[in-house]
A and B are shown apart, each in its own frame.
Chain A
Amino acid sequence: MTDINKHRDKFPQKNPDGTNIIDLKSGKFIKVWQGPNHPGITGNMSLELTIQGDEIMECKTHVGYLHRGFEKLMERRRFIQCLPICVRIAVPEPDFNEYCLTSTVEELAGLKIPDAAKWMRTLLLEMSRLQSFLMWIGGQAGAFGLGIIGQWSNYVRDLVLDRFEEITGGRIYHMHMIPGGVRGLTPDGFEKRMEETLQEIEKVMKDIETTMFNNSIFKKRSIGLGYIDPSMVFEYGVTGPNARAAGIPKDVRKDYPYLKYNELDFDVITGKNSDAFTRADIRRKEIHLSIDLIRQMMVKMPKSGDYMAKVPNVLHWKIPKGETYVRAECTRGEFGYHTVTDGSGYPRRINVRGPSYTHAVALMEKLAIDVNIADTAGLMVSLHTYPPEIER
């Protein structure tokens, strides 16, 4: 990293809030666009960068390339019909949408779900975290030029998707959680195949740790990049690994134990340095934590029993007027659904709180300042953002 401050006189002067004073007419600045096609992240969004030399002086996030109006569409769908839509709000990690939507609906309808369904949902959420982290690690490594990591991690991610396929019948969009429970328990022999998968992941993770985390290129580029000061965590609504890397042990699974997380044994992983490397390291540890949690669940989970509560006819299911918010800890941080009902058969309003909403816009715009243009992709992936949840 170049130390800009050493040569401060050659750079624009700062505003009190840390932004640069930019005079485009001076001819010293160039505007470039990074994106919208895949600027190193999953999905489409773009950064409008004002650069001087190869340093970013100003960054503006632009979204809108993926907007399909899901929140609005759900307002004219019956509650059950929202499910096939909601999963598309966070493509690589759709299960959190299912969970948050079904549990707000259940809460407002006063529906209790069976124990086996809770276990099943916990398993699906944790598997989803695992595969999402595996996908992320490929992206993060790729953004710093380590293309091979993505090949390896996607291979094991595919194995997790195979396990999803076994349980739910779908690889990406599982749609396994339904208001009232889930659509089935694990099939015969699942534990054995899951264990094989986990062992394969551990094997690949060992390789990844050697080639990525013990790699001078990766270290050189990521250490010190995108420092999030702990004081920014609340100001910018930072959650998940991004906040934990700053030493703040924010983890919805521990803070508000949902489903069966209070019956599982785990500690919140935190870091100190709050830069891209620390965040990557936390996510690496999260992968091992997910593996451990899945192993715990394989032992504790019931293999049979009711998994669906009695629901009224879903074709004209009316839910009393109310408002609630349910959150869960997805790979990127706090994921939540704010659902408002008006007593009719359709939701009045569903608002999705995706962690990328804060991370990719306000936070990214702040962190990108003074960053080398080649590091923007790495920085963005280190915040782990999924554009579809910004513009539901």
Chain B
Amino acid sequence: MSFKDVLKPFTAWKNLAIEPVSIKKPLERQAAPRYRGFHKNNLEKCIGCGTCEEICQNAAIDMVPLDGIETKEGDSGLRPMIDYGRCCWCALCVDVCTTNSLTMSNHFTWVDTNADNFRFIPGAENKPWDNEELGYKKPENYELNNPYRVEMVEIEPEQRDKSFLEIVKGFSKEQAIKEADRCIECGLCIATCPAHMGIPAYIAAVRNDDMEEGLRVLYETNPLPEICGRVCTHKCESVCAMQHKGDALSIRWLKRYIADQVPAEKYKEILETENIKKNDKKIAIIGAGPAGLSAAYYLALLGYNVKIFEALSGPGGMTRYGIPEYRLPYDQIDKDVDYIKSLGVEFQFNTRIGKDITLDKLHEDFDAVFAGTGLHLGRSTRIDGSNHEKCYQAVDLLRDVADGKSINVEKKIVVIGGGNVAMDIARTLARLQNQKYGKVQLIITSLESEDIMPADLEEIVESREEKIIIEPAWGPKKIKIEDGKIKGLHVIKCLSVFDEEGRFNPKFDENKKEFFEADMVVEAIGQGMDLSYFSEEMQSRLEMTDRHKVKVDNNCQSSIPWLFVGGDIVAGPDVISAIADGHRAARGIDNFLSQK
């Protein structure tokens, strides 16, 4: 210590002459551009998935309804309300937000005398920071989840275009768990699924590698998981919250994965259906399609004696006779059906109601009847030449292929239609062409332009991979016939398919023409129902909807009380709606008979 040490501290006095460094108006201080201040939420973009609530470790977020936000498919109608008494501004809610709608402003000063005002719905209460550009946003290239799906392995086009081997290989265990891991368990998909399957629950089962639990969840609402796991229209995936980040989850393939893992002989044990107590009531089911099978399953679980009458020689309905084997192998249909059979459900094939047995007879012999007869009549374009013998209906051809009948494929084929049935028949015929001629000469022409073609995108892509030519936006005009043989199809340009009100009302440009050479034409523009098994008296009592479907109540009960109707003749057409109908009808029949 020295004398210097006594004097030196006095140099601090020099600060008296220096301007103070403190911020003069702290309330007006602008925070950094990345500052984590009060939340903003883009209410239009937000889908109310609740992931923000899920990750908030302070339990600061509640999902609440909001006036003007409607609950609809893919949007729960709920919006996050934040309690700033609990929020710790960590911004994990911003990072996990599936739609990136939730962000933060860099506002951090707000004075209010009422503590309750600090609990509000960001974006809904016109806060001064709602339009603030600056503030924390989820950084680029930074994800707390994998936004992209695990790619499904398919057989290469060169290997598949000559055979009917199943194209999609299915997930391995590792792939399935990785894909299931992406699910955020918001459950938005449940409402969209016609059968309201417990999707997050069975995905969780995949994640936990608990296949038995997975199977139990599947069978709660869907007794045809092998079928659905392959050909379901997967509407659920169209509302998956993860699609806003990247890809929707492969929900359908995960369902298939579960069903594929469990051997058929273990089903009864897992699902605890070994000892079902039977009652003495008898139910007749017309049609062994998805609706009928589903109804039969749930009725059998309730102890009813169920008998299914099927016009064709095998079970599955459209899933067997309308969907090609490369998409849905027959043995997988059999796996689902055999389990239902093992519960005591009787099947009588090659029996057409209305011809072999009358509906009235069924009514006499059984306590209730369920009809799920589907759409098996192909619609025709009714253009010139469409009554030629080489102009076929897609559904008829697909049925013949499934039945093992040989089909006389020609060298050049034109398929009319832009839906999945058109793709199915085209790809089936292309395989047969390849087997017979060693090359594919097949054109699909649809009314719709490619962006609005109803077929699934992967169907279009795979068709092209199999060397099928797709010619969208052409309207069929006339089939050219020379010397009694089909020579091709005249088409004109289709400008638009739907009018401004969204009704089917195609407009054409007659001057833009094209001619597709062909020896064979297949029409795949839709199917109709065959209700000829109803007697005239019954048809008069049967109420129909404006859309020419059978009118039923919520339990699939028709205007004839003992008659329950479901499947494609009521809604759809698609497999999962039919399954849902079957389930509802089973419940309806149970109610109906227990009230009797």
Contacts and interface: CB of A to CB of B under 8 A. Distances in A.
A162 B8 CA distance: 31
Given A166-B32, A166-B34, A211 B11 contact: yes
A369 to B, nearest CB: 26
Contact of A210 (B6, B11, B54, B178): B11
Interface in A76-133: 77-78, 80-85
Interface string A293-333: 00000000000001110111111100000000000000000
Contact of A314 (B5, B145, B178, B185): B145
B152 interface: no
B502 interface: no
A313 B90 contact: no
Interface string A187-216: 100000000000000000001001110111
Interface in B3-29: 4-6, 8-9, 11-12, 15, 21
B95 to A, nearest CB: 8
B377 interface: no
Contacts of B36: 169-170
B183 interface: yes
A220 B92 contact: no
A156 to B, nearest CB: 9
A371 interface: no
Nearest to A74: B57
A162 B23 CA distance: 13
A287 interface: no
Contacts of B34: 165-169, 184, 187
Interface in B410-467: none
Contacts of A148: 12, 15
Contacts of A210: 8-9, 11-12
Interface string A140-157: 000000101000000100
B182 interface: yes
B181 A306 contact: no
Interface in B248-266: none
A43 to B, nearest CB: 18
Given A169-B34, A306-B141, A313-B145, A83 B55 contact: no
Nearest to B14: A207
With a 10 A CB-CB cut-off, give which of A146, A217, A310, A313 has the most chain B CB atoms: A313
Nearest to A146: B9
Which range holds the interface residue count of chain A?
35 or more
B407 interface: no
Contact of A169 (B32, B143, B181, B183): B32
Nearest to A188: B33
Contacts, number: 122
B96 interface: yes
B12 A315 contact: no
B55 A315 contact: yes
A311 B55 CA distance: 15
B330 interface: no
A84 B182 contact: no
B87 to A, nearest CB: 10
With a 10 A CB-CB cut-off, give which of A82, A85, A315, A316 has the most chain B CB atoms: A315
A219 interface: yes
Interface in A149-187: 155, 162, 165-170, 173, 175, 178, 181, 183-184, 187
Contacts of A312: 145-146, 178, 181
Given A155-B21, A308-B143, A214 B58 contact: no
Given A169-B34, A169-B136, A313-B184, A178 B144 contact: yes
Interface string B176-197: 0010011111000000000000
Given A173-B88, A220-B1, A314-B55, A183 B139 contact: yes
A308 B88 CA distance: 23
B57 A81 contact: yes
Contacts of B144: 80, 178, 311, 313-314
Given A165-B35, A315-B54, A211 B142 contact: no
A170 B55 contact: no
A214 B9 contact: yes
With a 10 A CB-CB cut-off, give which of A146, A170, A207, A220 has the most chain B CB atoms: A170
B145 A307 contact: no
B142 A307 contact: yes
A109 to B, nearest CB: 13
Interface string B196-224: 00000000100100000000000000000
A80 B96 CA distance: 11
Interface string B78-116: 000000000011111001100000001000000000000
Nearest to B184: A315
B142 A162 contact: no
With a 10 A CB-CB cut-off, give which of B55, B184, B185 has the most chain A CB atoms: B55
B431 to A, nearest CB: 39
Contacts of B204: 316
Contacts of A310: 143, 146
A316 B181 contact: yes
Contacts of B136: 169
With a 10 A CB-CB cut-off, give which of A84, A146, A219 has the most chain B CB atoms: A84
Given A214-B8, A215-B8, A165 B31 contact: yes
A211 B31 CA distance: 33
B51 interface: yes
Given A184-B139, A312-B181, A313-B181, A170 B146 contact: no
A184 B145 CA distance: 17
B225 to A, nearest CB: 23
Contacts of A216: 1, 5-6
A149 B325 CA distance: 83
Contact of B91 (A78, A167, A169, A181): A169
30 contacts: A83-B90, A85-B57, A148-B15, A162-B32, A165-B35, A169-B36, A169-B91, A170-B35, A175-B91, A178-B144, A181-B142, A184-B34, A187-B33, A207-B11, A211-B11, A212-B9, A214-B4, A214-B5, A216-B6, A219-B1, A220-B1, A307-B141, A308-B142, A308-B143, A311-B144, A313-B144, A314-B55, A315-B51, A316-B185, A316-B204
Interface of A: 77-78, 80-85, 146, 148, 155, 162, 165-170, 173, 175, 178, 181, 183-184, 187, 207, 210-212, 214-217, 219-220, 306-308, 310-316
Given A178-B144, A307-B142, A315-B185, 12 more contacts: A83-B92, A84-B90, A84-B92, A173-B88, A211-B8, A211-B12, A216-B6, A306-B141, A308-B139, A310-B143, A311-B143, A313-B146
